[in-house]
């Protein structure tokens, strides 16, 4: 049986997290929601794996975090893109485009 | 800065790992609650909503652990493992360990020894005021092949009186004498110094005074200045020591002063005479000169 919702290729999650946060600061749950919405539920993400990825990105200095209050008045940790993260997002976007174009060319061979 | 944040997290995880765990717990609990509420809104029973949220989240314990590691946790544990591994390996290869330890020991030892010498000779300033203005001068005797030789007293006096290059000149010599009088007789190290010696080194006696120029005359030279050590040891730091008598190899001298505790006598035979303190000096006596007995170009008469 072919999986309808493929797993993300290695490293892609970082790109999606950066992209989601480029739309504005958000807590971890919100990041996951945003990615799912933007992907129109076509992706299979184990939601928990988002967190180690987010922590790793934070350690690289691309995002930073602080405790804040969520829409339903609960304490939540909010992440936002740093200036360095914005640059990194541009780099990763262009790399991703390059890669998908290249893979598409190969697959289109007849 | 990226590495700075990672470093801070690592230290924080080391010092307060509970706080890091609590933060991660809280963040993930918030996530599960939010997902469960969302599920309830979509019509699930609270139990199903919770179960579905947990299923979508994945293996909670494992993910928490991963998050903790990313945030610098486990650093101390890994460090400790490395240390234990290192010790085991060293014990397993005693030959290698021996060579490694020996190499380190020799390296550190040689460095320490070299540094001590360099520090004493080159780095540490002379223990006197304005050390950069002090020089030690010698006579040279080419015939005998000596390039550092003591001045004859008469030559010193000629130099002192005729030179214009130095603010002041002082001479000193050493003498071993027998100290007798109160208590056990004792062999003491005496320095025979010109009256200019202490003023030149800017040394102010702790008690009393140094020597007067007129005390450089035979017959008036029966005075002595005690070192701090001798004053403490032999005279019990007696504050009334001034004007008391001490007998040096039969010569009776009046104590006129006591040197300060930190005074160091120069060592004329050290590689850097003014920075390597000589073996202890117990007393100073004035360098008296009788013109009738002096020989220019010859050694001074031995005082004993």
Residue range B72-76: mean pLDDT, rounded: 75
A28 with B67: Cβ contact below 8 A: no
Number of domains in chain B: 3
Tell whether the model's pLDDT for residue B13 goes beyond 50. Answer: yes
Q: What is the pLDDT of residues A74-110, one digit of tens each?
A: 999 999 999 999 999 999 999 999 999 999 999 998 7
Q: Does B292 reside within a domain?
A: no
Average pLDDT of chain B to the nearest whole number: 85
Tell whether the model's pLDDT for residue B213 goes beyond 50. Answer: yes
CA distance B110 to B172: 35
Shortest CA gap B84–chain A (Å): 28
B66 with A74: Cβ contact below 8 A: no
Candidate from A29, A56, A58 with C-beta closest to B34: A29
Tell whether the model's pLDDT for residue B4 goes beyond 70. Answer: yes
Query: Do B168 and B230 fall within a single domain?
Result: yes
A55 with B67: Cβ contact below 8 A: yes
Tell whether the model's pLDDT for residue B299 goes beyond 50. Answer: no
Query: Do B262 and B206 fall within a single domain?
Result: yes
Query: Do B217 and B70 fall within a single domain?
Result: no
B30 with A55: Cβ contact below 8 A: no
- Please report which confidence band the pLDDT of residue B53 belongs to, taking 50, 70 and 90 as the band edges: very high
Q: Does A1 reside within a domain?
A: no
Q: Does B230 reside within a domain?
A: yes
Query: What ipTM score was computed for the predicted complex, to two decimals?
Result: 0.86
Structure tokens belonging to residue A85 = 């993260």
Q: Does A89 reside within a domain?
A: yes
**pTM (two decimals):** 0.49
Query: Do B246 and B181 fall within a single domain?
Result: yes
Q: Does A34 reside within a domain?
A: yes
Tell whether the model's pLDDT for residue B285 goes beyond 80. Answer: yes
Q: Among the listed ranges B146-150, B152-156, B291-295, which one has the minimum average pLDDT value?
A: B291-295
Query: Do B273 and B232 fall within a single domain?
Result: yes
Query: Do B142 and B210 fall within a single domain?
Result: yes
Nearest CA among B278, B285, B291, B281 for reference residue B303? B285
Q: Does B293 reside within a domain?
A: no
- Picking from B58, B85, B112, the residue at the C-terminal end of a domain is B85
Cβ–Cβ contact A37 with B under 8 A: no
Query: Do B100 and B165 fall within a single domain?
Result: no
For residues B83-115, one letter each, b for 16 or more C-beta atoms within 10 angstroms of the residue's C-beta and e for the rest, the string is: eeeeeeeeeeeeeeeeeeeeeeeeeeeeeeeee
Tell whether the model's pLDDT for residue B297 goes beyond 60. Answer: no
Query: Do B55 and B145 fall within a single domain?
Result: no
- Please report which confidence band the pLDDT of residue B279 belongs to, taking 50, 70 and 90 as the band edges: low
Nearest CA among B57, B68, B61 for reference residue B22? B68
Q: What is the pLDDT of residues B230-265, one digit of tens each?
A: 999 999 999 999 999 999 988 899 999 999 988 888
**Residues 6 or more apart whose Cβ sits within 8 Å of residue A62:** A18, A81, A82, A84, A85, A88, A89, B2
What CATH number has the domain bearing residue A38? 1.10.10.10
B27 with A77: Cβ contact below 8 A: yes
Query: Do B141 and B280 fall within a single domain?
Result: yes
Q: Does B300 reside within a domain?
A: no
User: What pLDDT was estimated at residue B304?
Assistant: 42
Domain containing B42 equals 2-85
- Please report which confidence band the pLDDT of residue B301 belongs to, taking 50, 70 and 90 as the band edges: very low
Tell whether the model's pLDDT for residue B182 goes beyond 90. Answer: no
Domain containing A26 equals 12-107
Q: Does A6 reside within a domain?
A: no
User: What pLDDT was estimated at residue B240?
Assistant: 92
Query: Do B231 and B171 fall within a single domain?
Result: yes
Query: Do B152 and B183 fall within a single domain?
Result: yes
Query: Do B214 and B197 fall within a single domain?
Result: yes
Tell whether the model's pLDDT for residue B120 goes beyond 80. Answer: no
Residue range B66-93: mean pLDDT, rounded: 86
**Nearest chain A residue (CA) to B34:** A29
């Amino acid at each position: 049986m072919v999986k309808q919702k493929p797993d993300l290729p290695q490293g892609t999650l970082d790109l999606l997290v950066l992209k989601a946060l480029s739309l504005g600061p958000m807590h971890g749950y919100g990041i996951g929601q945003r990615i799912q919405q933007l992907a129109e539920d076509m992706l299979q993400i184990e939601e928990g794996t988002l967190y180690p990825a987010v922590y790793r990105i934070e350690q690289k200095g691309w995002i930073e975090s602080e405790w804040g209050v969520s829409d339903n008045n609960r304490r939540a940790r909010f992440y936002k893109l740093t200036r360095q993260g914005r640059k990194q997002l541009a780099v990763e976007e262009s790399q991703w485009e390059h890669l998908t174009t290249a893979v598409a060319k190969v697959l289109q061979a007849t | 800065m990226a590495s700075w944040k990672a470093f801070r997290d690592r230290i924080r995880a080391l010092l307060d790992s509970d706080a890091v765990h609590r933060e991660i717990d809280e963040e993930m609990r918030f996530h599960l609650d939010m997902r469960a509420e969302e599920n309830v809104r979509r019509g699930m029973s609270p139990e199903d909503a919770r179960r579905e949220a947990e299923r979508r989240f994945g293996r909670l314990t494992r993910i928490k652990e991963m998050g903790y590691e990313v945030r610098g946790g486990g650093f101390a544990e890994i460090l400790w493992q490395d240390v234990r591994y290192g010790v085991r390996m060293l014990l397993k290869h005693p030959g290698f360990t021996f060579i490694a330890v020996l190499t380190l020991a020799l390296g550190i030892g040689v460095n320490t020894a070299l540094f001590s010498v360099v520090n004493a000779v080159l780095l540490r300033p002379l223990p006197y005021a304005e050390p950069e203005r002090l020089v030690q001068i010698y006579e040279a005797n080419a015939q005998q092949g000596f390039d550092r030789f003591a001045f004859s007293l008469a030559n010193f006096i000629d130099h002192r009186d005729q030179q214009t290059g130095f603010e002041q000149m002082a001479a000193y010599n050493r003498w071993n004498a027998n100290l007798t009088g109160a208590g056990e007789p004792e062999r003491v190290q005496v320095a025979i110094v010109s009256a200019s010696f202490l003023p030149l080194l800017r040394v102010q006696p702790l008690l009393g005074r140094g020597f007067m120029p007129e005390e450089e005359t035979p017959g008036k030279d029966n005075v002595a200045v005690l070192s701090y050590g001798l004053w403490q040891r032999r005279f019990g730091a007696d504050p009334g020591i001034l004007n008391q008598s001490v007998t040096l190899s039969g010569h009776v001298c009046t104590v006129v002063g006591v040197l300060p505790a930190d005074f160091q006598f120069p060592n004329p035979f050290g590689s850097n005479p003014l920075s390597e303190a000589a073996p202890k000096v117990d007393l100073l006596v004035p360098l008296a000169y009788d013109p009738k007995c002096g020989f220019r170009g010859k050694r001074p008469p031995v005082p004993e």
